[in-house]
Structure 1
């Protein structure tokens, strides 16, 4: 009984300290303090800008690095090189340019809730079509791999459930292809 009380007291104390910390965090900054940039409102999240040429180049460099690493880990044979090149070409992000399909802020504000939902459904259909093409490319390439190479691919793609970018480690690199 004494152990339960002690644990309960510790838990309540920890929650109280946490609540005080949250209250202090939520207080407004003093008038002379520098303003902190706020994240965009959730309703504006989809309105982000398309990548700049520098961002696109950085993305392509990271992708090339990951592809080279995967090529090395798979130990692609000369006989598999053609299938590898086809796979890489098919996996390039050549899918729908969704930034062009997104309405402007003004257009979005004029749409009704059902119109917005219909628009999102259309975007999802385009994304699904692109992912289906990529899945077909993966299956075609996977078929020419040895069982050992397939295990490497299985390991690489186990990270894909976190989205196209995968989980990021401390260096900013993506774990997935």
Structure 2
């Protein structure tokens, strides 16, 4: 029994002796060619953000142009009287696209606690809701200044704008009325 134990002990000692030089080696130095990798990666992210910002600006400009065209067409179709011009001016000013909403910055949001993030998102939602309410009030005030025939034209035009919005791809995900899937009762 002793010889079997001795053989096992010698085998373990030999393995340990062979492994000792491997364990004594220092960690290999980082390759000098990759020292710029984090900087290159940060530059790539920065370039991506700049591209996204440029795309966002271009999209906002196109959106403003489309809105101006629609308002011009609407004004022509409504055939406003000189007495209705001040109401039109107030209406178009209220309908201007707002780009001054604060965007939630990812880096600063990560530094907040979950309840603080929720509060920040709620504050932003409240700001947007207030702007939407102001626009709705402006539409109602302008609508009240229109003659019945003009109101019908406004209603038809507004209905078409909603259909155009849906057809541009915003409603293409299979959702029907009130966000329900197609084929569901609603």
- CA deviations on 1:103-141 (whole Å, 9 max, x unpaired) are 322222233332222111101110111112112211211
**What do you get for the CA RMSD once the two structures are aligned?**
2.9
Structure-2 change in CA distance of 1:132 and 1:166 (3 Å): same
Match of 1:147?
A: 148
Determine the C-alpha separation between the residues in 1 that align with 2:57 and 2:71: 21
How many residues align structurally?
118
Larger Rg: 2
How much does 1:145 deviate? 0.3
Structure 2: tracts of 5 or more residues without a match: 1-51, 170-186
Report if the CA contact (8 A) 1:159-1:167 is conserved. Answer: no
Aligned with residue 72 of structure 1, among 61, 70, 76: 76
Return the TM-score normalized by structure 1.
0.55
1:97 is the counterpart of 2:100: yes
What's the TM-score, normalizing by structure 2?
A: 0.53
Query: Unaligned stretches of 5+ in structure 1?
Result: 1-47, 171-177
Comparing both structures, which one devotes a greater share of its residues to helix? 2
Kept in 1, the 8 Å contact 2:77–2:153? The answer is yes
Q: 2:166 is paired with a residue of what secondary structure?
A: coil
The Cα shift of 1:55 comes to: 3.1
For residues 60 and 119 of structure 1, what CA distance do their matches in structure 2 show? Answer: 28
Matches within 5 A, 1:42-61: 49=53, 52-61=56-65
Counterpart-to-counterpart distance in 1, 2:161 and 2:124: 21
Corresponding position of 2:176: none
